[in-house]
Amino acid sequence: MSETLARLRLARSEGVGPTYYRRLLERFGSARAAIAALSRHPERFRAASEADCAREMAATAEMGGRFLFLGEPDYPPLMALLPDAPPVLLTLGDHASLAPRAVAIVGARNASAAGRRVAEDLADELAGMGIVVISGMARGIDAAAHKGALNAKGRTIAAIAGGLDIAYPPENAMLQARIADQGGLLITEAPLGTAPQARHFPRRNRIIAGLALGVVVVEAMEKSGTLITARLALDYGRELYAVPGSPADPRARGSNDLIRQGAHLCENAADVLEFLPQAPAAAPLFRPRPKPAEHPEPPPEAPEEAGSDAAQVLELLSTTPISVDELARRCQLSAPSLRAILFDFELEGRVQTLPGDRVALS
């Protein structure tokens, strides 16, 4: 099994989310070694089928798609900085669109004609200046933003909620194909054949916010999905902009409220560029260990003989949460050694990790 196939299996495994995927690779150094470790705990983890993942890779390659894995050089650097960065991304189109100088334009699906015009004109301006325009391929503002970038013969990225082979909404099928064919890029976490469902869209929104240096909101109702993207942008430390709208239009209440809370007022591309930072020069925070030998031995079980470090840590733990820093002081172990022991305990279901970097017996 290749390391690439193993990474896809690990990403598709039950019980392995974005944060746990990152921790597994940091702990074991490769997906193959991580799967070997997980296989010792079938009651808690079920690795994805090697055959199913091989078929997914072959089908994606057949349609011209690619896989981008967290921790590898071609993974988008801005996305890699996120604490919940997707373990794997599937793409179709030109990867030059993943240049970090990008701005997202998002907004209401039932947008007004004026709102669509603003989004299209803004995307046209930004794309003409070499800025990549990102949006979510939805009706209304998203579609207008993609069209504006294409009209300027610029680059645009469509973050979609389903598989690369599913056009959603159906009326955007031609636009989706046009993006992939004319220098843009389609990007998703979902395997081929995945039909978009309501639960997929918040995950799609984090891709939009994660790829962009700034997010522009054009029309958003209160408690709308667009505001989820705006909140994610703030959580990720990205610049947030909003286009003002009429107080009489409920579609502008969410965007107007963002301005009241401190978002940059945006009417044109100059307003965006005034606050848009340069792309981060630092490499991604996540660096996996060097790949092991071709046929690595499974990591050994954590030793628990009397007097061992693991036994000492276990003796100090209880069902009452304790911070990892406090535990390190009590057992006098280095932080990396302690975290390795705790991670093995967590794999075995003995320890649970709690908010605030605390641990307790399960």
Nearest CA to 211 among 147, 143, 279?
Answer: 279
Question: For the segment 269-279, what is each residue's pLDDT rounded down to a tens digit?
Answer: 999 999 998 75
> Is the per-residue pLDDT at 299 higher than 70?
no
Structure tokens at 101: 């100088």
In the chain, CATH 3.40.50.450 covers 95-275
Angstrom distance (rounded) from CA 32 to CA 19: 18
Nearest CA to 191 among 286, 93, 86?
Answer: 86
Provide the mean pLDDT of the chain.
87
> Is the per-residue pLDDT at 283 higher than 60?
no
In the chain, CATH 1.10.10.10 covers 309-361
Which numeric CATH code is attached to 309-361? 1.10.10.10
pLDDT confidence of residue 348: 66
pLDDT confidence of residue 185: 97
Least confident of 6-10, 188-192, 269-273, 334-338: 334-338
**73: Cα separation from own chain's centroid:** 16
> Is the per-residue pLDDT at 291 higher than 60?
no
> Is the per-residue pLDDT at 87 higher than 90?
yes
**Architecture of the CATH domain 95-275:** 3-Layer(aba) Sandwich (3.40)
Q: In which band, very low, low, confident or very high, does the pLDDT at 307 lie, cut at 50, 70 and 90?
A: low
pLDDT confidence of residue 325: 84
> Is the per-residue pLDDT at 301 higher than 60?
no
> Is the per-residue pLDDT at 19 higher than 90?
no
> Is the per-residue pLDDT at 63 higher than 80?
yes
More confident site: 195 or 290:
195
pLDDT confidence of residue 336: 75
> Is the per-residue pLDDT at 289 higher than 60?
no
**Beta-bridge partner residues of 66:** 91
**Model pTM greater than 0.85?**
no
Question: For the segment 207-260, what is each residue's pLDDT rounded down to a tens digit?
Answer: 999 999 999 999 999 988 899 999 999 888 899 999 999 999 999 999 999 999
Percent of the chain clearing pLDDT 70 (strictly above): 91
The per-type count for the chain, helices as H runs and strands as E runs, is 15, 12
**C-alpha distance from residue 77 to each of 162, 280, 281, 302 (Å):** 23, 9, 10, 34
> Is the per-residue pLDDT at 356 higher than 80?
no
> Is the per-residue pLDDT at 121 higher than 60?
yes
pLDDT confidence of residue 341: 82
pLDDT confidence of residue 311: 81
